[in-house]
Amino acid sequence: MIKARNETLLITLFVVLLISCSETRQNTDAAVLQKEQQIIEKVINDNIKWALNKDLDLLYSTIRQDSTFLIVNPDASLIEGFKAVERTAKSFWMDPRFKATYSAVKELRINLSKDGTVAWYYCLLDDCGEWDGRPYKWENARWTGVLEKIDGKWVILQMHISFPQ
């Protein structure tokens, strides 16, 4: 009888320990997921807001710097590869006639792959500025993209911006 009680007690303690470890792991997983999403959110915001100060280093830090990087613009034109980003930056974004004045990422949704190395996002984007003194205004543009965690750092691999019709 005492042996049976001891075995029951041990089994109960073991089950409680398993449940406790499972809850701790779930809490840790949720905290890690939240932290990763915050980092990804910053990368996404930095990718558009770099233009406010024309901080090319900030822009370049947010994207994959190889030939696979891709931007699909609202007019369906493509910027393919990091070298094309550099050319566009030098010929257009860094031109004194271009001036970014306001950007806002709204309704951002981020999803992570099960292994935590790939993420994809959707948001609405407001992006305003001037070209040669003439204002432009993108409101509620749809912005989607894919990021990958490479060497411990999140970078955007591709993005697509479009306007609802």
Q: Which of 145, 137, 69 is nearest to 101 (CA)?
A: 137
Q: Which helix (H) or strand (E) holds 112?
A: strand 98-112
Q: For residue 26, is pLDDT > 70?
A: no
Average pLDDT, integer, range 147-160:
98
pLDDT given at position 136: 95
Reported pTM: 0.82
Taken in order of first residue, the domains within the chain and their CATH numbers are 2-162 (3.10.450.50)
Q: What is the number of other CB atoms lying within 10 angstroms of the CB of residue 87?
A: 12
Tell me the H-state helices in 2-155: 2-53, 56-61, 82-88
Residue 102 confidence class, pLDDT cut points 50, 70, 90: very high
Q: What is the pLDDT of residue 165?
A: 79
Number of H helices and number of E strands within the chain? 3, 6
